Homo-oligomer: A and B are copies of this chain.
């Protein structure tokens, strides 16, 4: 894991996701979490949290976005793409990203600044999970101030 800086394209894509998160938060039954995949400088399919929309606890924004990108690519292998999310990916979504071969992850709100309930195994942090996977680049806190209020109460 590295603490490298986000690219200008990633900051721009995150700005798009932040807007989607705020829109989703304003709609009934939708949480304010948005995620998307980038190929190079381009934001591909984005998704928002569908847990309550679909009555399905597995439909986190990242799961929705990864599924869409994989279907578009016609392959479950998303190597080379970057995962962006307005909230640090939970253990489910991080594992999904790694199974898909994703090795760059950029997010806004960081685990230490949001309620524990967004995580299934909150005693473990991302470095504990990714221990030994030095090829994975993780950049947290990008535009964090613009979304952190959405996650104050742990609502999904």
Give chain A's interface residues, CB within 8 Å of chain B.
51-52, 54-59, 63, 66-67, 70-71, 73-78, 90-96, 98-100, 120-121, 123-124, 128-133
Contact = CB atoms under 8 A, between A and B. Distances in A.
Contacts of A121: 95, 98, 129-131, 133
Number of copies: 2
Report whether over half of chain A's contact residues are helix, strand or loop; otherwise say mixed: loop
A57 B124 contact: no
Given A121-B129, A121-B130, A123-B132, A73 B55 contact: yes
A130 B123 CA distance: 9
Residue among A55, A58, A78, A91 having the largest count of chain B Cβ atoms under 10 Å = A58
